[in-house]
Amino acid sequence: MKICFFKHADIDREKYDQCIWNASNGVIYAMSWYLDAVAPDWQLLATPDYSFVMPVPRKQKFGIPYLLQPWMCQQLGVFSPENISEEIYRRFMKKIPAVGCILQLNSGNLFGQKELRPNYILDIRPDYETIRSRYHNNTRTDLKKAAEAGLLIDYRTDYTAIIELTRQHSPYYTGKIVDIATQLAEKAHENDSLLVRCVRDKTTSELLSAVLFFRWKNRLYYLLPVSTDKGKKTGAMRFLIDHFIAEFAGKDYWIDFEGSAIPSVAQFYRNFGAVVEWYPVFRSFLARINAKCRYIQKNSISLQDNN
């Protein structure tokens, strides 16, 4: 198998996107328009006919090329409509054009790797009552309280207010990350992939919680969730998710919650009946050495401080 390296300007985007779309392990993060927002100068490893592709978010520092997972891009790796064998996977990994590499791959690239991360997904193809019957008791109780708090679902198309709410109330989506999120929202809107859902106070119309969902094939990606302090107290996000599930229940969709390894967040998703879908992390030899050196240096400093 011949694997070629393509610079950004030389990528046949039509062939590339067609491969991602038809791949059984395709994900929205690998679409060209998505990569343009999170890694503008992304490059590509691919077979000459684009039957197997691997987007490469390559950067360079002090003349040294390296690969690092872009913000808001959970999974990349090798994609194909054909079967991806372990041999094909390893050939692509050996072709990575960088000295160091830390990449999160997709669930179709699982070949006995030791480092795995959890992604939670919820099957909403059954009817709503069936899905709701799988909720944790605490979630059903919280939803009852949220309904009594006077909350209202807002179906809107304008995402700019959500971006502003995120800037004001999210401890995670700040600075460069929220700028990337804004670009993603713009591109998703252009590609008719954006769904905006909000929760307001029924009396004051105050915006309490919001989520940008990205629709791609049969997945609804849960991106940019944000809540105000009042929204957290009233359970507005649970209220929003429950109504979103009711809206799309019985249709051929899965909700992709995008994680998480944080126990409390993972439990929040599991309480809606979501199940884990593992994906691997690939680290090159030099990347592992660098990580180990940073760990040793950090602990050496800690020991010196203690002395």
What number of other Cβ atoms are within 10 A of residue 223's Cβ?
21
* Fold adopted by 4-116+279-306: Aminopeptidase (3.40.630)
Distance CA 7, CA 146 (A): 51
Q: Looking at residues 227-232, what average pLDDT do you find?
A: 94
Q: Phi/psi zone of residue 206: left (φ > 0), alpha (ψ -120 to 50 degrees), beta?
A: beta
Q: What is the pLDDT of residues 76-124, one digit of tens each?
A: 999 999 999 999 999 999 999 888 899 999 999 999 999 999 999 999 9
Share the mean pLDDT of the chain.
90
Sign of CA pseudo-dihedral 31, 29, 218, 105 = positive
**Cβ atoms of 95 and 45 closer than 8 Å:** yes
CA 249 to chain centre: 22
Question: Given 3-state DSSP classes, what are the helix, strand and coil percentages for the chain, each rounded to the nearest 5?
Answer: 40, 25, 30
Please provide the CATH number assigned to the domain covering 125-252: 3.40.630.30
Distance CA 6, CA 97 (A): 11
What are the extents of the domains in the chain?
4-116+279-306, 125-252
Q: What is the pLDDT of residues 241-267, one digit of tens each?
A: 999 999 999 999 999 999 888 899 999
Q: What is the pLDDT of residues 178-197, one digit of tens each?
A: 889 999 999 999 999 999 99
Distance CA 214, CA 185 (A): 8
Whether the domain at 4-116+279-306 and the domain at 125-252 fall into the same CATH topology:
yes
Sheet holding 100-104, edge to edge: 58-61, 64-68, 100-104, 275-283, 116-123, 254-256, 219-227, 207-216, 194-201, 151-156
**Cβ atoms of 211 and 240 closer than 8 Å:** yes
Residue pointed to by tokens 């009396």: 203
Does the pLDDT of residue 218 top 80, yes or no?
Answer: yes
Query: 175: pLDDT confidence band, cut at 50, 70 and 90?
Result: confident
The CA R_g of the chain, rounded to the nearest whole Å, is: 21
Number of separate helices (H) and strands (E) present in the chain = 11, 13
Note the pLDDT of residue 286: 54
Query: 285: pLDDT confidence band, cut at 50, 70 and 90?
Result: low
Distance CA 53, CA 165 (A): 37
- What's at 5, amino acid-wise? F
Q: What is the pLDDT of residues 121-173, one digit of tens each?
A: 999 999 999 999 999 999 999 999 998 988 999 987 688 888 888 888 887 77
What does DSSP say about strands 58-61 and 64-68: parallel, antiparallel, or unpaired? antiparallel
Q: What is the pLDDT of residues 9-24, one digit of tens each?
A: 999 999 999 999 999 9
Q: What is the pTM of this model?
A: 0.89
Residues β-bridged to residue 227: 209
